[in-house]
Amino acid sequence: MEAALNKPPLLTGQYAFFFDFDGTLAKLKPHPNQVSLPDNVQHHICKLAELSHGALALISGRSINELDKFIQPEQYPLAGVHGAERRDINGQQFTLSLPKKQMDTIRQQLQAVLGNIEGVQIEEKPMAFALHYRHAPGSATLVEDCARKIAGQYPDLTLQQGKCVVEIKPGGVNKGEAIHQFMAEPPFSGRIPVFLGDDLTDEAGFDAVNQYHGVSIKVGQEATCARWRLEDVPAVWAWLSGQVAYFEQQRAITSRRADYESFGRSL
Ligand SMILES: [Mg+2]
């Protein structure tokens, strides 16, 4: 049986924050386009980024273009398509691409098998395909078999399972690798990583964070290698709010202390 995991402790050091997006910061909706981020959550993310000197990134299966729409006007470091694309703190973007011919062939293969199945959505990303079957649960096996067969034809591709979705994506790409890449550069390096995620795709991220003796937080009840657990998205919002309040309080204390010291020196 899965061991019970506790709520994460209040974090009191120098941390780097990594968040999955769907099902972690934003509630899942019947269609991915219906998802949104409440204003106060957006505000708290912005505050947390500021209080962590910019060491905050979103790590998602969505593309960077899509993620930007949810968080604008802010511009955080991002990893999209499970890390196949990444934008660092300076805005420099790294993108893994697949040959156009390969993308064209896979698109045609997917259309031929899944194109006419009601409720199955073929989502094309810059270098991957996500096959959604939330609205066609009876087609799960067919979709997964089709994805496995196609991915098996290309040694450079692999499968990624998620909640009611299976993705065909470049191999060697996962959220854990994205976190390692961020942790190797400023402003993340030297800090303790914290990662929150809700899905199978986030397990690689938890594993990476555990290697740094960081804080891995599973959102939801499924089995996980994360060390802490939050119940659902509103619990993430409450944790985020509490964490921001604590850091703001600490900053106010530090600032008052600096004022007193400066006053003392002027006497
Ligand atoms: Mg998620």
What does 65-108 look like in DSSP terms, one character per residue? HHHHHHHTT----EEEGGGTEEE-TTS-EEE----HHHHHHHHH
pLDDT in tens, the chain (267 residues): 455 789 998 898 899 999 999 999 999 988 888 999 999 999 999 999 999 999 999 999 999 999 999 999 999 999 999 999 999 999 999 999 889 999 999 999 999 999 999 999 999 988 999 999 999 999 999 999 999 999 999 999 999 998 899 999 999 899 999 999 999 999 999 999 999 999 999 999 999 999 999 999 999 999 999 999 999 999 999 999 999 999 999 988 887 777 777 767 776
From the list 20, 88, 198, 202, the catalytic residue is 20
CA distance 259 to 243: 25
Residues 6+ apart with CB under 8 A from 101: none
Span from the CA of 223 to the centroid of ligand 1 (angstroms): 15
CA distance 11 to 30: 34
Would you state the structure tokens that stand for residue 246, as one six-digit string? 């604590």
Span from the CA of 94 to the centroid of ligand 1 (angstroms): 22
Q: Reply yes or no on whether 207 is catalytic.
A: no
pLDDT at 163: 87
pLDDT at 267: 64
CA distance 114 to 118: 9
pLDDT at 1: 42
Nearest to 168 by CA among 130, 134, 125, 133: 130
For 232-253, b/e burial (b = at least 16 CB within 10 A) is ebeebbebbbebbeebeeeeee
The number of beta carbons lying within 10 Å of the beta carbon of residue 227 is 17
pLDDT at 132: 94
Residues with CB under 5 A from ligand 1 (ion): 20, 22-23, 198-199
pLDDT at 126: 83
pLDDT at 235: 98
Span from the CA of 264 to the centroid of ligand 1 (angstroms): 51
CA distance 218 to 225: 8
Strand order in the sheet with 165-170: 121-125, 128-132, 165-170, 157-162
Q: Which fold has domain 15-96+173-258?
A: Rossmann fold (3.40.50)
Span from the CA of 24 to the centroid of ligand 1 (angstroms): 6
**CA-CA-CA-CA torsion for 190, 196, 202, 207, nearest 10 degrees?**
40
* Structural domain spans, the chain: 15-96+173-258, 100-170
Span from the CA of 181 to the centroid of ligand 1 (angstroms): 20
The sign one gets for the Cα dihedral 151, 82, 179, 12 is negative
CA distance 181 to 184: 5
Q: Which fold has domain 100-170?
A: Alpha-Beta Plaits (3.30.70)
pLDDT at 256: 79
Span from the CA of 206 to the centroid of ligand 1 (angstroms): 13
